[in-house]
Structure 1
C-alpha cells in the first residue's frame, strides 16, 4: 500500500472527515527533495495503515488546500488529527525522524 493522492475537491471528505490521524505529503513533480521523501512516505503508509491514513497532494494541481494551510515550501508534511493540524514537517527527513514525528501525534 502506498500513499493515496488527494485533490482539493476530495480534501474535506478524505482529511477533515477521517476517523484516524492523517499524514499529508504536499509535493510537486519538479521538487527533488519531494522525490527523496516520497518512497519513505509510501513505506510509512504501508507499515502504519492500521493507525494512520497517508495521502499525497500535488500542490501544482491542487493549490487551494496548499494555500489554505500556508504551505510555502515543499516537501511539507502535515499531520492532522480530527481535521486539525497537529504537526508540520518541512523539508526532507529520514524515515526514523518522520516516524518519531508521527508517533508524537499518533502514539
Structure 2
C-alpha cells in the first residue's frame, strides 16, 4: 500500500472503498506536510489492507478541503465506513496516529 493522491472528483469514491481511511489534507509547499508524508507511508505499509491512506492537496481540491473545514495544514481526518470520526490538526508523532487507528482497524 502507499499514499494515494485524491482530488475533488474521486475523493468520495476512494474514501468509501475501505472500512478505515486516513486522509491527510495538505499542500506541496507545506513543511510540516512534507515531514508527515513519510510517517503516512509507514502507516500504510504497516496496516496494509486494513487501512487506506489518502492525501488531498488543498489548493488543487478546494471543494473537498472546504467541505471538511480545513483551515490549517496538515490536517488528518480518519474515516470509518465513509464517515469522519477523528480529526487532528497539525503535525503529530506517529504514535498519536497509531493510537487513533487502533480504535478502527482491529
Q: Output the TM-score relative to the length of structure 1.
A: 0.92
Q: Shift of residue 12 of structure 1?
A: 1.7
**Partner residue, 1:5:** 5
Q: Distance in 2 between matches of 1:100 and 1:19?
A: 19
Q: Distance in 1 between matches of 2:18 and 2:2?
A: 19
Q: Distance in 1 between matches of 2:18 and 2:92?
A: 26
**Partner residue, 1:25:** 24
How do 1:1-107 residues align onto structure 2 when only pairs under 5 Å count?
Answer: 1-15=1-15, 17-107=16-106
Q: Shift of residue 106 of structure 1?
A: 2.6
Question: What is the count of residue pairs matched by the alignment?
Answer: 106
* Unaligned residue ranges in structure 1 (runs of 5+): none
Q: Distance in 1 between matches of 2:6 and 2:24?
A: 10
Q: Shift of residue 93 of structure 1?
A: 1.0
| Structure 1 stretches of at least 4 aligned residues deviating more than 3 Å after TM superposition | none
* Unaligned residue ranges in structure 2 (runs of 5+): none
The question of whether the paired residues in 2 share the 8 Å contact of 1:86 and 1:105 is answered with: no
Q: Shift of residue 50 of structure 1?
A: 2.0
Q: Shift of residue 11 of structure 1?
A: 1.1
